[in-house]
Chains A and B, each alone.
Chain A
Amino acid sequence: MSLQELLLLRHEWALIASVLILLVLELNFSEEKKSNSISSASILFAIVTLLGFLPAETGSTFGGMYVTDPLRILMKNILNISVLVVFLQSGAWLRTKNNYNRITEFYLLMISSVIGVNFMISAGHFLMFYLGLELLTIPIAAAASYDQYKSKSAEAGIKLILTSAFSSAILLFGLSLLYGSTGSMYFSEMEFSTNSLQILGFVFFFSGLGFKISIVPFHLWTADVYEGSPTNVTSYLSVVSKGAAVFVLVLLLVNLFDPLRQVWQQVIYGTAIFTMTIGNLFAIRQQNLKRYLAFSSIAQAGFILLGVIGGSALGMASVIYFVLVYVFSNLAAFGVVIAIEQSAGKINMKDYNGLYKTNPRLSLAMMLALFSLAGIPPLAGFFGKFFLFTAVAESGYFVLLLIAVLNAVISLYYYLLVVKAMFINKSEFPVPYFQSDYPTRIALSGCVIGILIIGFYSPVFEYIKQLCLASL
């Protein structure tokens, strides 16, 4: 195994390195300097992210267990960026008394989970995929129960770990069946010939992955875990782990499971409808913003499936593009929620009444984020959604499209509820004016800028689409 081959794993190496460096640094920080690891971690990760963008050669190693190509690199970079944003937003929270001594742990857990993400995306063999998946999940379960003294946090952790263990068991069962029917776990070697055993295996496998994307009916953990976990972890869950799972799903379905197209198109057709509708119906009546965003993210997952179903280059491109947009929109929304939670300790919708009076900038950021999620022009979300719709229309599922657009209208309703709270409703005790720390502000403004320009800057989409065409 030559050095070039090892260099293919650049992202992973960088992450592992950053973990080690962080450990070493942490040893040198004195008690009162613990909080330095916040800045150092952020800087380290920023470097990692930048490294990701350097030109890299592509290929496969470990005898095909590990594959990398421009498309996968792009996916990793997107997720790296979002993780960076999450890190930038978590400073204020980590500085609080309870967490002060365990700051570094948070970063270690997160980064190791990111490593999992990277391996999962680059997997060329189901073993690698499985390792990545678990490496992605387990640390997050730990991070979810990070707030030692909050029973809700523990509850979230338990729900996450149990359900994910359960789901991965099911996934593995499916994998074993696939193995039995194909005789290999190498994506390159597996051959499918839609027999019932394979369908069985596929469905089990799909449900395991769907659990991560929180597709109905595998979504029920989402709301509770999102609500209970520390908000930063929630934003990570809602963006990174979901995004990673989506990427993998697209890659596997379009390349590996192409022979089963008939099967998975039907599966996705059904689940997509349920996912969108259920997500919206639950989101309508949420008061706790974290739960609210949880259900909105479920609904968004439903929209993402629309792009998957076509299984064409356009479909893949629209999905990846949408995830990119969704990353910015959702992180902006969470950013605001986090900021307010940290400053005022409030996460209920009615606490946001009259926010515009006291914190106009935050309110605007929130409004843009929500409008982008709702798909309102000229924000990026509009383009993302429209391309998804284009993808589904391309494959001719106009009924599904109709259901989707009607769901989009419902979603607009509850997104407007928050806007209404911030801009229209009166409140005698609005959240007082405050100024969050620099990293948060940088992160937020970054997201907002992203929301504003991505749509107009068409090369982004065009580039993604070329990569997808190449990958088919």
Chain B
Amino acid sequence: MNILISHIAVPVLTTLALMFASTQKQVRTIAAGGMTIQLIQSLVLLYLFLQERAGGNDAVVLFKQSFAWYPSLGISFDLGVDGIAVAMILLTSIVIFTGIFASWEVDKLYKEFFISLIVLAAGVYGFFVSLDLFVLFLFFELAVIPMYLLIGIWGSGPKEYAAMKLTLMLMGGSALLVVGILGVYFTSDVEGVRTFNILVLGQHHIPIEMQRIFFPMLFIGFGVIGALFPFHTWSPDGHSSAPTAVSMLHAGVLMKLGGYGCLKVAMFLLPEAAQEMSWIFLILTGISVIYGALATVVQTDLKYINAYSSVSHCGLVLFAILMLNKTASTGAVLQMISHGLMTALFFALIGMLYSRTKTRIITEMGGLMKVLPFLSVCYVIGGLASLGLPGLSGFVAEMTIFVGAFEHEDLFHRVATIVAVSSIVVTAVYILRVVGLLLMGPVRNEGYYNFPKAKWFEKIATVSLIVGILVIGLTPLWLSDMIRDSLGTIVDKLVLK
């Protein structure tokens, strides 16, 4: 069986298995088992992919598989992955794997919880492996909808409001996507029966005035879930209300669907418009970067802090994509991955701390380093990664973006880059603020001393994420090369006239 199909099959089967599970123990075991298999096969996929590439197979996408579905509409279930997709799939597997362990102690409706969680993951996998716009969109919405239940049922705080807001805003985005996709479908000069296949569409041309209409729709449509300013406001509320694993998965993976879609759909299918309009969105994303960072500085709720910093980091992703060159785009993908790991780590840790301190307000905590050394050290590592310490993933991604963005001939773009670069200082400020208030300083109250130490599943979750961060941070070459090679087909269409 094609490994890509099995990437969708395993989650589905796991879900089915979960339906027949009864006790919490069984549910956990099945979920963990399934996702472990998933992680392993993602690693296998990576290995196979690198093998193929090493073997000189330089097809645009590998492991292609195609099943006709709605032939009269040119809808077919096309699968295939390039380096970017492989990287994102691996990221997803790691995050969902750790997410399962991070939500090990969910006891309310645990069965439904894991089912929805894994359905969500299935949607994400489908999104990354599909080459057909219709299928891609199908999986996109499939990934978004479970969020509502996950936040609404298992969330905290103003969960119903947050869940509704998040769902509606994301669906508003996907509404634009429908228009954009159909627009591309009907205006592309494909002879005979039309097709939704991205690669085929990519070889055909769309009249520029049509591109001008549909590019913003596609870009904003994906941008909403990529937390593009000013459509990012679902993110703080959503993340702060969501249960740990969901925040992890959502900030870690779902927000990346935005960048991925912008790159591989919007930019790839509508290159001329992308060139024309990049400057508008460049300004918007530039704003997100700085604005998100500055807004983070004054937050006091850990999850809000992380949510706003995510706005800043994901803004950087879109920012880099809009630079329309290989290096920056490589950086963008790297940033997606690195931010995915970091933010997942953060949310996991926040959940673990919250389960002990019962508060997320940093000013009400302090000196956790003394009482929870393990978790605190993990937090510090995450923080250092997020402020771009060499040797951790953040540095690699950001530097690639900055260097790439600065390659741009146009002065405006370079100035914008300098503005974006300055965010690293602000990042340092808010990270150190949190570390200082939360972990360091005197122990806040005596009760802290009888906190339970980190449990085994917590350790699995955090350590596996940190390993990911370190691997990328220490040996980035293979990854960045893999991504670079895959970007060729996209970026070559974007070469500036």
Contact = CB atoms under 8 A, between A and B. Distances in A.
- Asked if A and B bind, the verdict is yes
Interface stretch (B178-186, B273-281, B319-327, B383-391): B178-186
Interface string A393-425: 110101001100110110011001001100110
A405 to B, nearest CB: 4
A462 interface: yes
A461 B182 CA distance: 18
A66 interface: no
A28 interface: no
Contacts of A393: 179, 182-183, 185-186
Q: Which of B70, B176, B185, B213 has the most CB of A within 10 A?
A: B70
A378 interface: yes
Interface in A362-395: 371, 376-378, 382, 386-387, 389-390, 393-394
Contact of B145 (A371, A394, A401, A420): A371
Nearest to B143: A377
B179 A416 contact: no
Interface in B133-192: 134, 138-139, 141-142, 145, 148-149, 152-153, 159-160, 164, 167-168, 171-172, 175-176, 178-179, 182-183, 185-186
Contact of B176 (A371, A386, A405): A405
A314 B141 CA distance: 24
Interface string B66-83: 000111110100000000
Interface size class of B (residues with CB under 8 A): 20 to 34
Contact of A376 (B141, B152, B213): B141
A299 to B, nearest CB: 15
Contacts of B175: 402, 405-406, 408-409
A462 B153 contact: no
B142 A377 contact: yes
A144 B139 CA distance: 42
A405 B72 contact: no
Contacts of A382: 138, 141
Contacts of B185: 390, 393
A383 to B, nearest CB: 9
Contacts of A424: 152-153, 159-160
B152 A412 contact: no
B186 A461 contact: no
Contacts of A409: 168, 171-172, 175
Contact of B148 (A401, A402, A416, A462): A416
Q: Which of A382, A389, A424, A461 has the most CB of B within 10 A?
A: A424
Given A382-B141, A406-B172, A416 B164 contact: yes
A66 B186 CA distance: 38
B73 A390 contact: yes
Nearest to A371: B145
A125 interface: no
Nearest to A390: B182
A76 interface: no
Nearest to A406: B175
A412 B171 contact: yes
Nearest to B152: A424
B179 A398 contact: yes
A423 B152 contact: yes
A355 to B, nearest CB: 13
Contacts of B70: 458, 461-462
A389 B168 contact: no
B183 A416 contact: no
A465 interface: yes
Contacts of B164: 413, 416, 420
B292 to A, nearest CB: 25
Contacts of B167: 412, 416
Nearest to B139: A377
22 contacts: A376-B145, A377-B142, A387-B73, A389-B178, A389-B182, A393-B183, A393-B185, A401-B178, A401-B182, A402-B179, A405-B178, A406-B175, A408-B171, A408-B175, A409-B168, A412-B171, A413-B168, A420-B152, A424-B152, A458-B69, A458-B71, A462-B71
Interface of B: 69-73, 75, 134, 138-139, 141-142, 145, 148-149, 152-153, 159-160, 164, 167-168, 171-172, 175-176, 178-179, 182-183, 185-186, 213
Given A377-B142, A393-B179, A401-B182, 14 more contacts: A314-B73, A377-B139, A382-B141, A386-B178, A405-B175, A405-B179, A416-B148, A416-B167, A419-B148, A423-B153, A424-B152, A424-B153, A461-B72, A462-B70
